[in-house]
Protein backbone atom coordinates (compact mmCIF):
# COMPACT_ATOMS: atom_id res chain seq x y z
CA UNK A 1 0.00 0.00 0.00
CA UNK A 2 2.45 2.62 1.20
CA UNK A 3 4.94 1.99 -1.60
CA UNK A 4 2.41 2.67 -4.33
CA UNK A 5 0.79 5.72 -2.75
CA UNK A 6 3.44 8.53 -2.97
CA UNK A 7 2.99 9.28 -6.67
CA UNK A 8 -0.70 10.29 -6.58
CA UNK A 9 -0.25 11.88 -3.16
CA UNK A 10 2.21 14.53 -4.42
CA UNK A 11 -0.18 15.59 -7.14
CA UNK A 12 -3.04 15.80 -4.69
CA UNK A 13 -1.30 17.96 -2.05
CA UNK A 14 -1.02 21.36 -3.82
CA UNK A 15 -4.73 21.89 -4.65
CA UNK A 16 -5.74 21.55 -0.98
CA UNK A 17 -4.99 25.16 0.12
CA UNK A 18 -6.51 26.50 -3.09
CA UNK A 19 -9.66 24.53 -2.48
CA UNK A 20 -9.76 25.94 1.03
CA UNK A 21 -9.59 29.45 -0.44
CA UNK A 22 -12.46 28.70 -2.77
CA UNK A 23 -14.42 27.30 0.13
CA UNK A 24 -13.71 30.45 2.14
CA UNK A 25 -15.01 32.62 -0.71
CA UNK A 26 -17.88 30.24 -1.07
CA UNK A 27 -18.96 30.78 2.51
CA UNK A 28 -19.02 34.58 1.99
CA UNK A 29 -21.01 34.05 -1.18
CA UNK A 30 -23.48 31.84 0.67
CA UNK A 31 -24.01 34.56 3.28
CA UNK A 32 -24.59 37.17 0.60
CA UNK A 33 -26.99 34.89 -1.24
CA UNK A 34 -28.92 34.11 1.95
CA UNK A 35 -29.34 37.79 2.84
CA UNK A 36 -30.36 38.56 -0.74
CA UNK A 37 -33.12 35.97 -0.58
CA UNK A 38 -34.25 37.14 2.85
CA UNK A 39 -34.35 40.71 1.53
CA UNK A 40 -36.27 39.67 -1.52
CA UNK A 41 -38.86 37.87 0.58
CA UNK A 42 -39.25 40.48 3.28
CA UNK A 43 -38.88 43.81 1.45
CA UNK A 44 -42.50 44.01 0.18
CA UNK A 45 -43.71 43.21 3.70
CA UNK A 46 -41.46 45.89 5.20
CA UNK A 47 -42.80 48.43 2.70
CA UNK A 48 -46.37 47.47 3.62
CA UNK A 49 -45.61 47.87 7.34
CA UNK A 50 -43.74 51.13 6.81
CA UNK A 51 -46.53 52.77 4.80
CA UNK A 52 -48.98 51.95 7.55
CA UNK A 53 -47.10 54.64 9.50
CA UNK A 54 -47.03 57.11 6.58
CA UNK A 55 -48.87 60.40 6.75
CA UNK A 56 -49.86 61.14 3.14
CA UNK A 57 -51.36 64.53 2.30
CA UNK A 58 -53.45 63.35 -0.66
CA UNK A 59 -55.31 60.14 -1.52
CA UNK A 60 -52.24 58.24 -2.65
CA UNK A 61 -50.18 56.44 -0.04
CA UNK A 62 -47.19 55.94 -2.31
CA UNK A 63 -44.49 58.39 -1.19
CA UNK A 64 -43.13 58.79 2.32
CA UNK A 65 -44.37 62.03 3.86
CA UNK A 66 -43.85 61.63 7.59
CA UNK A 67 -44.46 59.32 10.52
CA UNK A 68 -47.83 58.93 12.21
CA UNK A 69 -49.70 56.42 14.35
CA UNK A 70 -53.11 57.84 13.51
CA UNK A 71 -54.10 55.01 11.13
CA UNK A 72 -53.84 52.55 13.95
CA UNK A 73 -56.26 54.76 15.88
CA UNK A 74 -58.58 55.08 12.87
CA UNK A 75 -58.27 51.42 11.88
CA UNK A 76 -62.01 50.85 11.66
CA UNK A 77 -62.90 54.32 10.42
CA UNK A 78 -63.78 53.08 6.95
CA UNK A 79 -66.97 51.07 7.38
CA UNK A 80 -66.84 49.31 4.01
CA UNK A 81 -63.28 48.19 4.59
CA UNK A 82 -64.08 46.94 8.08
CA UNK A 83 -67.07 44.92 6.96
CA UNK A 84 -65.04 43.51 4.03
CA UNK A 85 -62.34 42.40 6.47
CA UNK A 86 -64.90 40.82 8.79
CA UNK A 87 -66.49 38.95 5.87
CA UNK A 88 -63.06 37.68 4.78
CA UNK A 89 -62.23 36.50 8.28
CA UNK A 90 -65.58 34.75 8.72
CA UNK A 91 -65.26 33.00 5.36
CA UNK A 92 -61.63 32.09 6.04
CA UNK A 93 -62.48 30.57 9.43
CA UNK A 94 -65.44 28.63 8.06
CA UNK A 95 -63.55 27.43 4.98
CA UNK A 96 -60.44 26.40 6.91
CA UNK A 97 -62.38 24.57 9.63
CA UNK A 98 -64.36 22.62 7.01
CA UNK A 99 -61.23 21.98 4.92
CA UNK A 100 -59.30 20.81 7.98
CA UNK A 101 -62.07 18.40 8.99
CA UNK A 102 -62.62 16.92 5.54
CA UNK A 103 -58.96 17.10 4.51
CA UNK A 104 -57.85 15.25 7.66
CA UNK A 105 -60.23 12.41 6.83
CA UNK A 106 -58.96 12.19 3.25
CA UNK A 107 -55.31 12.52 4.28
CA UNK A 108 -55.66 9.82 6.95
CA UNK A 109 -57.40 7.43 4.56
CA UNK A 110 -54.78 7.95 1.85
CA UNK A 111 -51.88 7.66 4.27
CA UNK A 112 -53.09 4.66 6.21
CA UNK A 113 -55.15 2.48 3.93
CA UNK A 114 -54.87 1.05 0.47
CA UNK A 115 -58.21 1.13 -1.24
CA UNK A 116 -59.72 1.19 -4.68
CA UNK A 117 -59.81 4.77 -5.92
CA UNK A 118 -56.85 5.94 -3.82
CA UNK A 119 -54.84 6.62 -6.97
CA UNK A 120 -57.71 8.58 -8.51
CA UNK A 121 -58.07 10.55 -5.28
CA UNK A 122 -54.40 11.49 -5.34
CA UNK A 123 -54.74 12.60 -8.94
CA UNK A 124 -57.79 14.76 -8.26
CA UNK A 125 -56.02 16.36 -5.31
CA UNK A 126 -53.02 17.20 -7.41
CA UNK A 127 -55.26 18.49 -10.19
CA UNK A 128 -57.10 20.92 -7.90
CA UNK A 129 -53.82 22.18 -6.47
CA UNK A 130 -52.21 22.71 -9.84
CA UNK A 131 -55.11 23.93 -11.97
CA UNK A 132 -55.13 27.70 -12.69
CA UNK A 133 -57.37 29.67 -10.36
CA UNK A 134 -58.83 31.51 -13.33
CA UNK A 135 -60.13 28.24 -14.77
CA UNK A 136 -61.44 27.13 -11.38
CA UNK A 137 -63.14 30.45 -10.76
CA UNK A 138 -64.77 30.57 -14.18
CA UNK A 139 -66.02 26.99 -14.01
CA UNK A 140 -67.32 27.44 -10.45
CA UNK A 141 -69.24 30.51 -11.64
CA UNK A 142 -70.76 28.46 -14.47
CA UNK A 143 -71.63 25.67 -12.05
CA UNK A 144 -73.28 27.92 -9.47
CA UNK A 145 -75.22 29.88 -12.10
CA UNK A 146 -76.44 26.76 -13.87
CA UNK A 147 -77.48 25.23 -10.55
CA UNK A 148 -79.29 28.44 -9.70
CA UNK A 149 -77.31 28.99 -6.49
CA UNK A 150 -77.28 32.64 -5.52
CA UNK A 151 -73.72 34.00 -5.36
CA UNK A 152 -72.58 35.28 -1.98
CA UNK A 153 -70.64 34.31 1.16
CA UNK A 154 -71.89 30.70 0.90
CA UNK A 155 -70.59 30.17 -2.65
CA UNK A 156 -67.29 31.86 -1.74
CA UNK A 157 -66.91 29.47 1.20
CA UNK A 158 -67.75 26.43 -0.94
CA UNK A 159 -65.18 27.54 -3.50
CA UNK A 160 -62.50 28.13 -0.85
CA UNK A 161 -63.09 24.73 0.75
CA UNK A 162 -62.80 23.19 -2.68
CA UNK A 163 -59.31 24.49 -3.36
CA UNK A 164 -58.00 24.28 0.25
CA UNK A 165 -59.01 20.73 1.04
CA UNK A 166 -56.25 19.16 -1.08
CA UNK A 167 -53.58 21.12 0.78
CA UNK A 168 -54.81 19.90 4.16
CA UNK A 169 -55.11 16.33 2.88
CA UNK A 170 -51.57 16.42 1.47
CA UNK A 171 -50.05 17.70 4.71
CA UNK A 172 -51.96 15.19 6.85
CA UNK A 173 -51.19 12.29 4.52
CA UNK A 174 -47.47 13.06 4.75
CA UNK A 175 -47.67 12.94 8.56
CA UNK A 176 -49.71 9.74 8.63
CA UNK A 177 -47.22 8.03 6.30
CA UNK A 178 -44.41 8.63 8.81
CA UNK A 179 -46.54 7.57 11.78
CA UNK A 180 -45.29 4.40 13.47
CA UNK A 181 -47.98 1.88 12.70
CA UNK A 182 -47.37 0.00 15.91
CA UNK A 183 -48.78 2.95 17.88
CA UNK A 184 -52.24 2.19 16.55
CA UNK A 185 -51.65 -1.52 16.97
CA UNK A 186 -50.63 -0.89 20.57
CA UNK A 187 -53.88 1.00 21.16
CA UNK A 188 -55.90 -1.88 19.66
CA UNK A 189 -53.86 -4.34 21.69
CA UNK A 190 -54.78 -2.42 24.85
CA UNK A 191 -58.47 -2.76 24.06
CA UNK A 192 -59.27 0.38 22.06
CA UNK A 193 -61.64 0.08 19.12
CA UNK A 194 -61.00 1.92 15.85
CA UNK A 195 -62.88 5.05 16.95
CA UNK A 196 -61.11 5.35 20.30
CA UNK A 197 -57.76 4.57 18.68
CA UNK A 198 -58.22 7.44 16.24
CA UNK A 199 -59.30 10.03 18.81
CA UNK A 200 -57.05 8.96 21.69
CA UNK A 201 -53.88 8.12 19.77
CA UNK A 202 -53.81 8.99 16.08
CA UNK A 203 -55.45 12.39 16.17
CA UNK A 204 -53.42 13.88 19.05
CA UNK A 205 -50.23 12.78 17.31
CA UNK A 206 -51.15 14.15 13.86
CA UNK A 207 -52.70 17.30 15.36
CA UNK A 208 -49.71 19.52 14.45
CA UNK A 209 -50.13 18.49 10.81
CA UNK A 210 -53.88 19.11 10.97
CA UNK A 211 -53.15 22.53 12.46
CA UNK A 212 -50.67 23.46 9.73
CA UNK A 213 -53.21 22.31 7.16
CA UNK A 214 -55.77 24.53 8.84
CA UNK A 215 -53.39 27.50 8.82
CA UNK A 216 -52.57 26.91 5.17
CA UNK A 217 -56.26 26.81 4.29
CA UNK A 218 -56.86 29.99 6.30
CA UNK A 219 -54.02 31.81 4.53
CA UNK A 220 -55.21 30.65 1.13
CA UNK A 221 -58.77 31.76 1.84
CA UNK A 222 -58.27 35.10 3.55
CA UNK A 223 -56.42 36.72 0.67
CA UNK A 224 -57.91 34.84 -2.28
CA UNK A 225 -58.87 37.17 -5.08
CA UNK A 226 -59.34 35.31 -8.38
CA UNK A 227 -61.77 32.56 -7.37
CA UNK A 228 -63.53 34.90 -4.95
CA UNK A 229 -64.04 37.48 -7.68
CA UNK A 230 -65.95 34.90 -9.74
CA UNK A 231 -68.05 33.51 -6.91
CA UNK A 232 -68.75 36.59 -4.77
CA UNK A 233 -71.73 38.10 -6.53
CA UNK A 234 -72.27 41.42 -4.78
CA UNK A 235 -70.39 40.44 -1.61
CA UNK A 236 -67.17 42.33 -0.99
CA UNK A 237 -64.28 40.60 0.76
CA UNK A 238 -61.08 42.25 1.95
CA UNK A 239 -59.07 41.52 -1.24
CA UNK A 240 -62.01 42.57 -3.45
CA UNK A 241 -62.34 45.87 -1.55
CA UNK A 242 -58.62 46.57 -1.93
CA UNK A 243 -58.80 45.83 -5.64
CA UNK A 244 -61.66 48.27 -5.97
CA UNK A 245 -59.86 50.91 -3.92
CA UNK A 246 -56.59 50.83 -5.87
CA UNK A 247 -58.19 52.91 -8.61
CA UNK A 248 -59.08 55.72 -6.22
CA UNK A 249 -56.09 55.38 -3.90
CA UNK A 250 -55.42 52.89 -1.11
CA UNK A 251 -56.06 54.19 2.40
CA UNK A 252 -53.23 53.46 4.90
CA UNK A 253 -55.70 51.38 6.97
CA UNK A 254 -55.18 48.62 4.38
CA UNK A 255 -51.47 48.57 5.26
CA UNK A 256 -52.30 48.52 8.95
CA UNK A 257 -54.70 45.60 8.55
CA UNK A 258 -52.15 43.78 6.40
CA UNK A 259 -49.53 44.41 9.08
CA UNK A 260 -51.80 43.06 11.82
CA UNK A 261 -52.69 39.92 9.83
CA UNK A 262 -48.99 39.38 9.13
CA UNK A 263 -48.14 39.92 12.80
CA UNK A 264 -50.77 37.40 13.86
CA UNK A 265 -49.26 34.87 11.45
CA UNK A 266 -45.75 35.47 12.77
CA UNK A 267 -47.00 35.19 16.35
CA UNK A 268 -48.62 31.80 15.66
CA UNK A 269 -45.46 30.57 13.91
CA UNK A 270 -43.29 31.66 16.86
CA UNK A 271 -45.62 30.09 19.43
CA UNK A 272 -45.69 26.85 17.45
CA UNK A 273 -41.92 26.65 17.28
CA UNK A 274 -41.55 27.44 21.00
CA UNK A 275 -44.02 24.69 21.84
CA UNK A 276 -42.26 22.10 19.73
CA UNK A 277 -38.72 23.06 20.81
CA UNK A 278 -38.33 21.22 24.16
CA UNK A 279 -39.44 17.98 22.52
CA UNK A 280 -36.79 18.29 19.86
CA UNK A 281 -34.04 18.88 22.39
CA UNK A 282 -34.69 15.76 24.42
CA UNK A 283 -35.73 13.60 21.51
**In the complex, which residues of this chain contact another protein (CB under 8 A)?**
180, 182-183, 185-193, 196, 200-201, 204-205, 279, 282-283
Helix, strand, or coil (residue 54): strand
Size of the chain in residues: 283
Instruction: Give me the sign of the Cα torsion angle 56, 61, 63, 66.
Output: positive
Which residue, 23 or 181, is less far from another protein as judged by CB? 181
Which residue, 187 or 217, is less far from another protein as judged by CB? 187
Distance between CA 213 and CA 198 in Å, rounded?
18
Which residue, 57 or 182, is less far from another protein as judged by CB? 182
**Rounded to whole angstroms, what are the CA distances from 81 to 76, 77, 224, 236?**
8, 8, 16, 9
CB of 265 to another protein, least distance (A): 26
Distance between CA 283 and CA 278 in Å, rounded?
8
Report which DSSP code applies to 202: I
CB of 168 to another protein, least distance (A): 20
Which residue, 19 or 200, is less far from another protein as judged by CB? 200
Please classify residue 221 by burial: count the beta carbons closer than 10 Å to its beta carbon, then call 0-12 exposed, 13-18 middle and 19+ buried.
buried
End-to-end CA distance of the chain: 44
Distance between CA 169 and CA 209 in Å, rounded?
10
CB of 93 to another protein, least distance (A): 26
Instruction: Give me the sign of the Cα torsion angle 55, 246, 242, 166.
Output: negative
CB of 212 to another protein, least distance (A): 17
CB of 218 to another protein, least distance (A): 24
CB of 193 to another protein, least distance (A): 6
Which residue, 21 or 188, is less far from another protein as judged by CB? 188
Which residue, 82 or 112, is less far from another protein as judged by CB? 112
Which residue, 196 or 246, is less far from another protein as judged by CB? 196
Number of Cβ within a 10 Å radius of residue 265: 14
CB of 104 to another protein, least distance (A): 16
Q: How many helices (H) and strands (E) would you count in the chain? A: 13, 0
Amino acid sequence: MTTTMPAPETTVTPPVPRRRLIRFGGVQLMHLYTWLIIGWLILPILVMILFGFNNPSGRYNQTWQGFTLKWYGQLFALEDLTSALILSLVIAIAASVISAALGTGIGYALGRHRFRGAGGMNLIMFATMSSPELVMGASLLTLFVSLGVGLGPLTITIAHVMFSISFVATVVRARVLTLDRSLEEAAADLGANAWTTFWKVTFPIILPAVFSGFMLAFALSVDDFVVTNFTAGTSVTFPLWIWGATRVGLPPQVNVMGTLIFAAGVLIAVLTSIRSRPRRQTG
